[in-house]
Structure formats: C-alpha cells, structure tokens
Chain A
C-alpha cells in the first residue's frame, strides 16, 4: 500500500506537532489542549495499528467461548443466548462482540429475574472468572492511555 497507513499517520503527527501547534497563540488553551490530545491518540493508533485486527478477533472469540460456557449452565435465558451466538456467526468481529454481549446481558437478567439462587451463583462465578482474564487483556490494550497503574 502506498502510502502506508503508518506513513499517513506519521504525516498527521508531524503536521500537528510541527506546523499547527507552534502557531497556536498562548491564549488558545482549548485548541492547544485538543492538539496535544489528538497527537497522543495518533501515537497510540500508530503503535496499535498492526495488532488491532488480532486483538478484535480474540475479543470476539473470547466472547463466543464465554457464551458457550454459560450455556452449559442452562437456565431461563439460555435459548436467546444461543440465538445470539448463532446470529453473530455471520457478522464482522466488532458486531459479533456487541451481539454476544447483548445476549449475555439478557441471559444474566433472566438469571436474576427467574433463576434459582444456585443458578445465579454459578452464573456469577463464571462471569467473574471470565472477566478476570478478559479485563486484563483490555487493560493491557488501553495501558498507553495512561490511566492504568499496570
């Protein structure tokens, strides 16, 4: 690909940092702040660009596996969750995650509105265990934002 995405991002960074920013007057505090934020975001995008497709694919795979694990517990929301997993199969990876997470949300709601206490406890344990691992991947991915103390 010519120019590469990396070259295009690099030129945006150079433009903002070396042309736009030095010409902003001191009193343009919001504009300066926004340019600094935009530059930070562009640097992160540039660093994550190559890894993004694999990250998103793994996120979708994890969500689908978690759904299958939940379905082994049965319960009142199992059928709609199975439908959601089936519907997600034909979608792109981002839409897959949204569809499956919406299905899991309905499944958890059903467990609390119509499930037995033992079923709720089993669902909770599985969700917490899954998110314990999944969240660490998300934290690593978002670490360059600077919020996390990882």
Chain B
C-alpha cells in the first residue's frame, strides 16, 4: 500500500544522515519510537520527537536501551510500526530484546549509528566495528537482516526498505549506519507519499478459534494477530510450539529455531542486495559497505589509473551475506580487497566464501577517521601483482 502522507516531508532537503533516517522512518509509517540519548545517533530521535506529535506518533525517551528495545517489541504487537535508535554501547544493551524480537517474530527496526569501540570508545567518531555484533550479538541461533547506507539519501531510502523487510519476514531489521553518514549533510530528495510503497502489517483473516500464532502451514512466516483484537494469543521468548506455548524439548527446539533461521536463509536471494560495478574481467574486487564504500571510490580510481582491472561490490544488505555472489566471483579473480573501519569483520565472511579460490586481503582501520585511500589502493595493487 501507499504510505500515510502525514509522515512524508516530500521535497528536496539538505539533511544529515541522522535526520534522513528519522524522515525515512516517518515516511515508512513508523509511529512508535522509544530511545535513549547516545552520540552520534541522538539527532534521529530529536527529529522524530519534533515531528511525531503532528502525525499520530508517540516518542518516549526510556530510562535505558534495555527498556527502549523492550518497549519497541511491545509496541509492535499492537501493529504499530516501531523503532529504536542507538550507537555501540546502547546496541550492546539492546541485544537482549533483539533476541526476544527474533524469537517472538516481531517486526521492528533498530538503527545503529556506529562509532569507535569497544566500550565507550570514540563517542563522536566513526567506526564500523559492530558488524559482527549485528549478526551474532544476541545469544543463541537466529537470523536477521542488516542494511548499510553510504549517504543520507540512502539512509532515507533504506529506512523504508528496513520497515518493509521487517514486516515481510517478521524479524528485527538493523540499519547499520555510521557516524560519518550520520553527520554528513547532503541533498536528500523525499518523494511524494504516493510514490512510497510500504508493506502494511498483514493481519490474519482467521478467527480467534482457529488461529495459532506460530502455525506456518508450509510457509516460513506465521500469520499475525495484533494485541487487543480478541485473539488472546500467547507469545514467549521460550522455545515454543505453534500455539506459542513453551515446550522444553530438543524436538521442539529443532522445529522452532530451524524455522527462525530458514525463513531468512531460504529467502536470502530475495533479500540480498548490492551494487556491482565492473566485476566482469576484473582481477581485483573491492568488497565494501557504508561510508568506506565512498572512500574506496578514490582508491579504485587510483588503481585503475595504474592499469589494474578493479571491480566493486558494495554491500547494501550485509546480513544475510551475499554468499552466492562471493563464491561465484572467487573462481574468476585474483583476489578480494575488503576495507572496513574495524580490524577485520566482514572480511571473514568474504574469506569464508572465497574458500581459498582467490586471495582475500583485509584493509583494517581502528576507527576515528575513514581510511586513507592510498592504503586501500596499495592493497589493490598488492593483490593485482
């Protein structure tokens, strides 16, 4: 369906990435936000708290990030699109209820404006070191979806995709942006509401008597009944059967958790998204995401000037990982170069999928600034040799 125009500030704007995130959420139909202040993400909720009262949205500043995430999961059960926003230290606290959202299959969105870590790290400076935490941060096995924007415009666009994906797959969706994109001000064009397609919460058509909250009938995604509509359902963070009742057995665990994983892995081809450039006949392929993708541009141009055939894969959806793509490319090229503002996280996935068929070179950076393009260029030249 088309989105509610009340949340859409159509037009051409000059916005930073955080504000663009906030606008994207409102345009996507988000109407409940719970958050806790943390640099460099706070501008997102500042923007929302200013505009929400005019569109039927409720923002609450909770007492901490544990509470923020719990409130978001609770709110989503009323059918209200819900989100929270944070950075590293808060992201750590949210892991508990991100796991709950995964287990209860609750659509919701979490924005992580990444800064340098670990611990309090570099509050005002860039990092990309939460990428593995995004994938594995909550305990146990589960799958979710994570997106990485490289610009304020893309932050806006991907927020809409994030909400839509969370509705389609009933998972928490993470927007893994970073301080540079968050605080970078650029032109952002917000389209008219009638051009913004959103996925509404699909409510079950079954009667309360026949409805079971986790029955899938051969699909991967159960139907949804919202709180307060008379279904009187039960949902739990415990391993549960299709009635949503706890069952403590290895058999039930296998059914319950396998589906949580397969609903994403079996649909990975539909979810995975990337930009691909000049990979045909390339000797070296740079795999990159977020702000680093823009820094890598210069390095790629420098390497091409020296005659190296360089292709680029810019990951837009980072989780689930573009596994098939990397496997295919690995047989055709000399090697991958993976610059990222961490000491080597997504490079591990690239290396795993390359499976020894080509070189995989990490270009690590501890955070606090972006890479020097020359460092990436030298890595490209090294692989091309």
Chains A and B bind each other? no
Using CB atoms and an 8 Å cutoff, list the residues of chain B in contact with chain A.
none
A residues contacting B by CB (< 8 A) are: none
